[in-house]
Chains A and B, each alone.
Chain A
Amino acid sequence: MGETTRAQGAVPPRGGAAEAAGRALAGAAPDGGAAVRPGTPADAVGGVRPAYVAAPADPAAAAAVLAVAAEHALTVVPRGNGTKIDWGGPPRDCDLVLETTSLTGIEHAVGDLVVRAGAGVPVADLQAALGSAGQRLAVDTVVPGSTVGGMVATGLSGPRRILHGPVRDLVIGMTVLRADGVAARSGGAVVKNVAGYDLGKLHTGAYGTLGVIVSVTFRLHPVPPALRLLRAAAPGPEALREWAAAVLHSPTAPSAVELDWPPEGDPELAVLLEGAAAGLDARGAAVAAVLPEPPHHADALPPGWGELPGAPGDTLLRVVAPPPEAVRAAAVLRDAGRARGILAAVRGSLGTGVLHAAVPADAPPEAVAAVVAAARAALAGAPGGAVTVPHAAPPVRAAGLDLWGEVPGAALMRAIKDRFDPGHRLSPGRLMEGI
């Protein structure tokens, strides 16, 4: 045990060294296993343009590319379809973008309700393949176009997480390439398994700072026979909070209890029920019974269900708080925005207390900082409460907004980063100070 990383203490390439690194990358995988080209402005990660983009054809080629990157002390940012590539902090440096889109392949063990998928598989393709067998990965589409690797690396989960847990609860195994290119697997292909550390948990939501995800094994669920969506507009946040609490307290076993609060107007509660068609009337009635007026209902999900609020490019705030506090924090956040001429849309899970707020991309950075500060202050005493900024519009980023706030356990996280990536070459700076 105890391999060391070759990159430790090495100097990043400049001038002739950069060319040598480029040549070495091109020859990293035999038989053109990894196409390498110079980076273009369109490849920029959070405004940082990479020197090279490599698209390895398979995991072995990806490992070879990473090994060469380690030898030449290149900083590396993995990229799937790039839908969230400008999320997180801008990398301190980015020599190489490693594109995972060729790491495809879906192995569906239907009878075991398990699937293994390559990091580059589009989540929509995976869902389509599973759906044909009456199964699904119980994660909603939060950002359309995501790959499996991108979804897991950003740890994005949607409304159904109150029943099935966030995406990390569905990951049962993972293969990751370390900073030195060595492949390491944790977990396995069976749902129940406690052998060894569950390192997949660390990589989920790590923004590629600890390794490059190559493939992920998920547990699956049967697609329920029917669904019903109930929606009701609340006169204000306090009423909405009470309604949500009452629904969650009812034995109706909702798959989702969501808040949808457009930039202007009243907040709306949405309750998703899934299961036997014969049971939906009774369950729907039980939900309606705790609401002052009969809700609207539909037997299909509207377009855009579960997606983030706002428009692409907006600054995105993530509010994580004990469910009762989450709505209050959202209200504080909106009020703080309105006082500064910013109208924020809020959406998210009331059952778990994870909400996203979208602030228009052109909002003045000082005003955005004030809104974030107000929301953080509102959650000061709430156990586990946190406000982060998964995506900052370029001016906000440039103004140096603290995207993460105070993160409990940060010292342990830095210690883990130092062991896994001693040269700090993997997505440096994308996740928190010093990581």
Chain B
Amino acid sequence: MPVPVGPEALVPRLRAICGDAGVLTDPAQRRTYESDGLTYHAELPGVVVLPTSTAQVAAVVRLCAEEGVPFVPRGAGTGLSAGALPRSDGVLVVTSRMRRILEVDVEARCAVVQPGVANLDVTRAAAPHGYYYAPDPSSQQVCSVGGNIAENSGGAHCLKYGFTVNHVLGLEIVTPAGDVVRLGGKVAEAPGYDLIGAFIGSEGTLGIATEITVRLLRAPERVRTLLAAFPTMDAGGRAVSAVIAAGVLPAAIEMMDALAIEAAEAAVACHYPKGAGAVLIVELDGPAADVDAQFAAVTALCREAGATELRTATDAAERARIWKGRKSAFAAVGRISPSYIVQDGVVPRTALPEVLRRIADLSAESGIRVANVFHAGDGNLHPLVLFDDAEPGAAERAAEVSGAILDLCVEHGGSITGEHGVGVDKACHMPDMFSPADLATMDLFRRAIDPAGIANPEKLLPTPRLCGEPPGVRTDVHPLVASGEAELF
């Protein structure tokens, strides 16, 4: 084991690898990278490197491994779980200079890109050929494909098309030892363990993705988008259940409550129906006849559920108008509240009405307003917990409400995160969802790939330093009972 040195001791060698312009040591420059999208976690990185090639990334990581210095990968820094939170004792490896689209292969229906490429740029490159890249996080103009890999990002359309993991055919990674390993290629289902599947969603803790081959999809023949207004959230929820029960799988079903509608109206004047208690955006895509048949069904089901107004978009401009309010919702709450917390939790779709009622109760009891904007089709809630920093105790109460919402998700058999990841932010919530044995097994995997523990340490899994010692370590309980599996069926 090397005796760990400070990252500043690495600077001359890092300069030799990345060039002078590729190594940032000036505190003001490093400050730019002190946090990701979750700004209340911040730390000044020890050194920042901006490599331009796989070879440079590998050499940087190998140096870190030799010297026992931790490294943190970073893409565009839009992450919302502090996954790219730097370390003062570590090297921040930023992929922003690895932004080339290396190939669009139409016959194999895939694209090969560097990790710093913005998500939307993949679709831009594929569009002239009639193809697109399906995962579409709301941050897609900025967020990097490498960051998407690390977070297994989703988007509004993942109800039908799945997440990043369902669209990656090949990966080149630099392991925490600094080795370059190529996995898969222009075809999925490589022999052996599915390392690609396990790497995706690993939040930078298993190494750095340096080249990514993504699957491209043929643009659908028809897309139709519907905006439906309902008097209450319950009525909107009934429409969602009815659509799913009818065997329709829309590309997206998004829902907003009155407070979120108010915020969106204030910010972008999206002109959603006035006085609505909830709006639903349903997008259908596919072969023309299928979309038309499903569209008729969805329209009827919304009416039956009590929709007060229905608007439909048939062309791209109308569609963009409908989506405008939804897409701006996060930023828009800034118009109606000085501060807010964006939560990300998942419940089984059928538990949505109950959970939304409980969130309303929490809000009423605490006096903390909660705006709901969410992916209703897959039960992925994004409650925006609003508060005023200037008001003493408000931030704490908001954090309590936000935490209580996560508890509700777990209580209903859901998840503490549907797309934003665990990072630092939710590491201490992992034991709410997983048993000690589950977590120990995940750690086995992590240590198999990163035995020295230098790849994005203290993210994803709880550690005693972050979360305190777990109360009462299990001794002799039957393992199945301990992990809750004794009642499997």
Please choose the segment from B86-94, B187-195, B275-283, B359-367 that sits at the chain A interface, where 4 or more of its residues have CB less than 8 A away: B187-195
* Docked complex Cα distance between A270 and B279 (Å): 43
Rounded to whole Å, the gap between the CB of B466 and the closest CB of chain A is: 13
Chain A residue total in the interface (Cβ 8 A): 103
Please choose the segment from B118-126, B384-392, B479-487 that sits at the chain A interface, where 4 or more of its residues have CB less than 8 A away: B479-487
Please choose the segment from A92-100, A179-187, A304-312 that sits at the chain B interface, where 4 or more of its residues have CB less than 8 A away: A179-187
* Docked complex Cα distance between A178 and B479 (Å): 11
* Docked complex Cα distance between A245 and B105 (Å): 12
| A191-B378, A196-B460 known; A322+B186 contact, CB < 8 A | yes
* Docked complex Cα distance between A188 and B182 (Å): 29
* Docked complex Cα distance between A216 and B478 (Å): 21
Listed residue (A210, A251, A432) with the most chain B CB atoms within 10 angstroms of its CB: A251
Whether A165 sits at the interface, judged by CB under 8 Å, is yes
Q: Are B202 and A197 in contact (CB under 8 A)?
A: yes
Please choose the segment from B12-20, B266-274, B315-323, B418-426 that sits at the chain A interface, where 4 or more of its residues have CB less than 8 A away: B418-426
Whether B346 sits at the interface, judged by CB under 8 Å, is yes
Q: Are B192 and A282 in contact (CB under 8 A)?
A: no
Q: Are A1 and B440 in contact (CB under 8 A)?
A: yes
Q: Are A384 and B460 in contact (CB under 8 A)?
A: no
* Docked complex Cα distance between A197 and B200 (Å): 9
What B residues does A188 contact at CB under 8 A? Answer: 413-415, 433
| A169-B166, A193-B415 known; A323+B187 contact, CB < 8 A | yes
Q: Are B348 and A279 in contact (CB under 8 A)?
A: no
B444-481 near A? 1/0 per residue, CB < 8 Å: 11111101000000001100000000000000001110
Q: Are A166 and B189 in contact (CB under 8 A)?
A: yes
Q: Are A385 and B219 in contact (CB under 8 A)?
A: no
| A58-B488, A183-B480, A409-B183 known; A323+B162 contact, CB < 8 A | no
Chain B residue total in the interface (Cβ 8 A): 107
A395-435 near B? 1/0 per residue, CB < 8 Å: 00000000011011111110110111000000000011001
Whether B201 sits at the interface, judged by CB under 8 Å, is yes
A284-322 near B? 1/0 per residue, CB < 8 Å: 000000000000000000000000000000000010111
* Docked complex Cα distance between A168 and B195 (Å): 12
The contact sample of 24 A-B pairs, CB cut-off 8 A, is A3-B440, A60-B480, A157-B189, A165-B162, A169-B165, A189-B414, A190-B346, A190-B378, A192-B419, A195-B426, A197-B446, A201-B197, A202-B195, A248-B218, A251-B287, A253-B286, A279-B289, A324-B108, A354-B188, A384-B186, A386-B191, A407-B192, A412-B195, A412-B448
A-B complex: 7 closest residue pairs judged by Cβ atoms? A384-B185, A279-B289, A383-B185, A201-B197, A105-B489, A222-B247, A184-B441
B interface residues with partner A (beta carbon < 8 Å): 105-110, 130, 151-152, 154, 158, 162-163, 165-166, 169-170, 175, 179, 181-195, 197-198, 200-202, 213, 218-221, 241, 244-245, 247-249, 286-290, 293-294, 346-350, 375, 378-380, 413-422, 426, 430, 433-449, 451, 460-461, 478-480, 483-486, 488-489
